[in-house]
Amino acid sequence: MSGIPVDVPFVQHLGLVVRRMENGESEVFFDVRPEHMNSFAVAHGGATMTLLDVAMATAARSQTPELGVVTIEMKTSFMQAGRGALLAKGRVLHRTARMAFVEGMVYDATGRACSHATGTFKFVPRQPPAGEQTAQPVIYTD
Tens-place pLDDT, residues 99-113: 999 999 999 999 999
CATH of domain 9-125: 3.10.129.10
Q: Using pLDDT thresholds of 50, 70 and 90, give the confidence band for residue 133.
A: low
Q: Rounded to an integer, what distance in angstroms lies between the CA atom of residue 88 and that of residue 111? A: 11
pTM given for the model: 0.86
Q: Which helix (H) or strand (E) holds 90?
A: strand 86-95
Tens-place pLDDT, residues 43-98: 999 999 999 999 999 999 998 989 999 999 999 999 999 999 999 999 999 999 99
Q: Using pLDDT thresholds of 50, 70 and 90, give the confidence band for residue 126.
A: confident
In 15-84, which residue ranges form alpha helices assigned H by DSSP?
A: 45-61
Sorted by where each begins, the domain ranges of the chain are 9-125
Q: Using pLDDT thresholds of 50, 70 and 90, give the confidence band for residue 9.
A: confident
pLDDT score, position 127: 73
For residue 71, which of 36, 115, 25, 104 has the smallest C-alpha distance?
Answer: 104
